[in-house]
Amino acid sequence: MQNGAFYTGKYPNLFAEIGIAQDKIEQKINDTFNTMFFDPEEKIYFETGENMAYMLDTGNNDARTEGMSYGMMMAVQMDRKDIFDRLWLFSKTYMYQSKGKYQGYFAWSVRPDGTKNAEGPAPDGEEYFAMALFFASKRWGDGEPPFDYSVQARDILRHCLHQSEMVEGGEPMWDHSNYYIKFVPEASFSDPSYHLPHFYDLFALLAGEQDMYFWYKAAEASRQYLHLCCDGDTGMAPEYAEFDGTPKRLFHDWQFYSDAYRVAMNIGLDAAWFNKNETLGDIVDKLQAFLSENTTLGEYYAYTIKGEPFDEPAMHPVAIIATTAAGSLAAKGKYGLQWVKDFWELPLRKGDRRYYDNCLYFFSLLMLAGQYRIYI
């Protein structure tokens, strides 16, 4: 049943469903945004020079395509073209690769002064860059390069799919045999949290007729892939997974860990926008039930996807609460609204590790307020 906001124009507001007044919701969104972008002690947004800015990963003291593209999406949702353009100009100036096998991609990590920490890209950055740019084109119109937003977005997606044809030695970010996004272009495995079928359905309409079929197939494949990789009992997703869905050991033995928390949030937004696969809500129901019945709110560890804890505290406990609550947009179980209530009462994270938690906090806040909008 196609009853998502893309078809109806109506975005669910779960905060209103639990009795929060609209003025309180708007105030919390604005206060959160202002803290993250402008509070002298707690911000993660830093302006540099006359016309650039970066989003600082406060735990690693770098700027990442993940955070830069997140900041751009936040800015376009909040109608802040000034912030958006500063972040985009920094990204194009210091992260964009103009030669070599990564030409057309963005280096995934740079220092605050723009010096590259790595040459390779991270595909989640590219997909967020492209979606934020398309939305910016609709909200504000295309300007002169590099602010010809829709042109820039289409160029990013052409490289994502056709890098091997466009650049000598290049590898695409999507596997053309199964339509899955890869962890990095050279990898033959994926990161479940990179799978954003709600973006791909929009890319099919915006990226160019020649790739429409691919993006529709990618959306369908990603919705199925989440069923493959999320555990059937706990609903937990692994950080990294083989193309057959089995967890992939990469940097550590932990499975349900930092990247993986985003899966519930992504399922929630996909349901709010398109709701093409209601069975994805079953994953969130299982996750919410497992966490509600087997853990204490905020006291989390690294886990296997079976829910077996390691002796390693979760690095981002605020992110777990925020994203699991955002999954309530797809959930049908008895714990959904309780997670929304718990999240509403949760403050932003402070300290060195606030970057990742608070980015996911703000996205989840927008989603649950019905304020994470489609602009096409």
Residues that are catalytic? 66, 259
d(CA 198, CA 110): 29
Helix ranges restricted to H, the chain: 5-8, 14-17, 22-38, 65-77, 81-90, 123-140, 149-166, 197-206, 212-229, 262-273, 280-294, 317-326, 336-344, 354-368
The full DSSP string for 187-245 is -SEE-GGG--HHHHHHHHHHS-GGGHHHHHHHHHHHHHHHHHHS-TTT-PPPSSEETTS
Contacts of 327 (CB under 8 A, 6+ apart): 264, 265, 267, 268, 283, 284, 287, 288, 339
φ, ψ for residue 326, nearest 5 deg: -60, -30
Indicate the length of the chain as a whole number: 376
Amino acid letter at 263? V
Distance CA 47, CA 55 (A): 9
CA distance 259 to 355: 13
**Nearest-angstrom CA–CA distance, 63 and 55:** 6
CB within 8 Å of 360: residues ≥ 6 apart: 261, 262, 265, 316, 318, 319, 322, 323
Please tell me whether residue 309 adopts helix, strand or coil conformation: strand
User: In the structure encoding, which two tokens stand for residue 183, read together?
Assistant: 């962890």
Q: Are 339 and 321 in contact (CB under 8 A)?
A: yes
Characterize 186-205 residue by residue with b for buried, 16 or more Cβ atoms within 10 angstroms of its Cβ, and e for exposed: ebebbbbbbbbbbbbbbbbe
Structure tokens at 343: 């999240």
The residues facing 247 across adjacent strands are 241
How far apart CA 272 and CA 254 sit, in angstroms, is 30
